[in-house]
Amino acid sequence: MKTPPERPAPKVQAGSLRAALSIALFLFLLALVSYLSLNFVLALVDKLS
């Protein structure tokens, strides 16, 4: 009787891990885009000034 409740747990862990990985990837891409846009804006300011 104890084994059936334990079986869904790895699936939940895998789902949460996948969600955490997707969130981490999203945050990484967001940071990368913001960094590149900041560099672009700074380059424009340097060219204009």
How is 1-49 classified by DSSP, letter by letter?
--HHHHSHHHHHHHHHHHHHHHHHHHHHHHHHHHHHHHHHHHHHHHHH-
In a domain, residue 1? The reply is no
In a domain, residue 27? The reply is yes
In a domain, residue 43? The reply is yes
In a domain, residue 22? The reply is yes
Q: What is the pLDDT of residues 7-42, one digit of tens each?
A: 555 566 778 999 999 999 999 999 999 999 999 999
In a domain, residue 9? The reply is no
In a domain, residue 23? The reply is yes
Host domain of residue 21? 14-48
| pTM of the shown model | 0.60
Q: How many domains does the chain have?
A: 1
